[in-house]
Amino acid sequence: MTFNSVPYLCFVALAAALFWVLPARLRRTFVLLASLGFYATWGLLFVWLPLLVAAIVYVVGRRITADPGRQKQWARLGISGVLLLLIVFKYRVFLFSIIAGMGLRTDSHSFSFAASIALPMGISFYTFEAIGYLIDLRQGRVKLPSYLDLCLFFLFWPNILSGPLVRARELMPQLNFRKSFVPRFCFEGLDRIIWGLVQKNVIANMLGIWVDRGFDAGSGAIPSTLDGWCLAVAFGLQIYFDFAAYTNMAIGTARLIGVTLPENFRQPYHAATPPDFWNRWHMTLSRWIRDYLFFPINAKWAGAPLPLYLSLVGVMALVGLWHGAGWGFLVWGTLHGAYLVVYRVYESWKTARPSLSNSRIAAGCWRALTLVAVTVAWVPFRAPTLHNASSILSAMFFRFAGGSAYGSGFYGFTAALILFCMVEAGLLRKLGEMEDRAGVDGPSPFRIVVRPIAYAFGLLLFLLFDEHNAQFIYSQF
Residues marked active site are found at 323
Determine what percent of the chain falls in helix, strand and coil, rounding each to the nearest 5. Answer: 75, 0, 25
Cis ω for the linkage preceding 305 (within 30 of 0): no
N-terminal to C-terminal alpha carbon distance within the chain: 17
> Is the sign of the CA dihedral 234, 236, 238, 240 positive or negative?
negative
Least Cα distance to 155 among 123, 109, 196 occurs for: 123
By the 10 Å C-beta count (0-12 exposed, 13-18 middle, 19+ buried), 238 is classed as buried
DSSP class of residue 476?
G
Rounded distance between C-alpha atoms, residue 403 and residue 291, angstroms: 47
User: Is the separation of the CB atoms in 465 and 209 below 8 Å?
Assistant: no
> How many Å apart are CA 54 and CA 105, to the nearest integer?
36
- Name the H helices within 139-271: 147-155, 168-171, 183-198, 205-215, 225-256
Amino acid at residue number 460: L
CA dist 133 and 63 (Å) reads: 14
Within 13 Å and on the Cβ side, how many CA atoms surround 353? 8
Question: Which among 392, 477, 389, 468 has a CA at the least distance from the CA of 205?
Answer: 468
How many other CB atoms are there within 10 angstroms of residue 251's CB atom?
A: 24
The CA dihedral of 189, 194, 198, 199, to the nearest 10 degrees, is 0
Count other Cβ atoms within 10 Å, centred on residue 468. Answer: 8
